[in-house]
Amino acid sequence: MANDNNEIEEIDEQVEEQVDEEADEQVEEQVEKLLDEKKESPLKDALKRRWYRFSKNPLSKIGLAIALTSIFLAIFGRYVVPHPAHAGLYRDYGNKFIEPFQTWTFPLGTDSYGRCVLSRTIMGFKYSIRMAAVVLSLVVPSGVVVGLVAGYHKDTWIDTLLMRTSDIFIAVPPLVLALSITAMLEPDPFYAMMAVSLMWWPWYARIAYNNVSSLVNEDFVKSAEIMGDSKLHIMFSEILPNCTGPILTKLTLDVGWVIIIGASLSFVGLGAQAPTPDLGTMVADGSGLLPTWWWVSIFPAMAISFIILGFNLLGDGVQDAFEEVGGGS
């Protein structure tokens, strides 16, 4: 009996040791898992939080869908329209002024040359989105750099020179400045883009300047200066990431404004020229046909409104996304 009891005790001890080892292994696995989660990129974690806040608003997701649709049509519009040849010097007077919703061949009707309004409107997305993309890709980096440098050197001659220069441009109404510049040159989309870019950068300089001015005396900036980091490193690696929220919000909202300015220039004949299917030019060409042949100008105008609505809703969502976590931390 004593031997049996000893054997049972030994078995119990072995079982307990095995259970303890398994428990320790499980604890170690859980600890490693927690450590791996902690090692996740702070950027990835911030993006998750921002997406959560962005997606809470259904209108933001609608705006994102509209924006992506607009970009898709701008890139692949020629391959999805029913009549891609109607983007150029196409004439078919036998089919001119067909009313919309009368035939599947021309769902939105035709213009005075017999060209498909649907095809030309969809292909017009290319020129509007390209205008916004080119202008913002020029003005955002240049304006942000000016504001970043001026804000970091606040109350110095650098600040005075850069920000007073931007104030001069801001004092002139944007559309008036763009019209003045393009009127002195020959009508061309390139000159229209350059004119809009020239008068748009100060707004990004002002946003960056205001944000940098509020951050330049923060502890993390002073710590970097004490550590001997260069000014370029402090400005672009320490300060700039904390300014991304307001900049991205303005960028998405400005897509609509740039498109409006570009369409306005085309409307008065200073942008894209016929037969280019630019939305502003199409509205201008069709305005003289109102109200009899209303569809020639109304559908391009609706397309402009569609793009602007989408990016405005997207901009509101971006603002919500960055509201909780601040600029770019």
> Cis omega (within 30 of 0) on the bond before 291?
yes
191 residue type, one letter: Y
pLDDT of the residue at 294: 92
Token reading at 144? 């942000």
Share of the chain above pLDDT 90, in %: 24
The answer to whether residue 326 scores a pLDDT higher than 50 is: no
**Helices in 41-116 by DSSP H: which ranges?**
42-55, 58-80
Which of these, 99, 102, 106, 103, lies nearest to 82 by C-alpha position? 106
Which of these, 205, 126, 194, 225, lies nearest to 165 by C-alpha position? 205
Average pLDDT, the chain: 82
Cα–Cα distance, 250 to 265 (Å, whole number): 22
Cα–Cα distance, 279 to 302 (Å, whole number): 10
Cα–Cα distance, 117 to 123 (Å, whole number): 10
In a domain, 251, yes or no: yes
pLDDT of the residue at 325: 47
Interhelix angle 189-215/244-267, rounded to 10 degrees, is 160
pLDDT of the residue at 200: 86
Look up the pTM and report it. 0.77
> Cis omega (within 30 of 0) on the bond before 275?
yes
In a domain, 51, yes or no: no
In a domain, 220, yes or no: yes
Interhelix angle 117-152/244-267, rounded to 10 degrees, is 130
CATH number at residue 229: 1.10.3720.10
Place of tokens 């916004």: 132
**Least confident range of 26-35, 186-195, 230-239:** 26-35
In a domain, 248, yes or no: yes
List, in order, residues 6 or more apart from 271 with CB less than 8 Å away: 182, 187, 189, 192, 262, 263, 265, 278, 280, 281
Place of tokens 């946003």: 207
List, in order, residues 6 or more apart from 103 with CB less than 8 Å away: none
Q: In this predicted model, what pLDDT tens digit does every residue of 273-301 receive, in sequence order? A: 777 888 888 888 888 888 889 999 999 99
Q: In this predicted model, what pLDDT tens digit does every residue of 207-223 receive, in sequence order? A: 999 988 888 888 888 88
Expressed as residue numbers, the domain containing 248 is: 58-323
In a domain, 98, yes or no: yes
Q: What are phi and psi of 110, to 5 degrees?
A: -130, 165
Average pLDDT over every residue of 108-131: 91
Cα–Cα distance, 23 to 18 (Å, whole number): 9
In a domain, 284, yes or no: yes
In a domain, 80, yes or no: yes
**What's the structural domain count of the chain?**
1
Cα–Cα distance, 184 to 181 (Å, whole number): 5
In a domain, 17, yes or no: no
**Least confident range of 49-53, 156-160, 163-167, 312-316:** 49-53
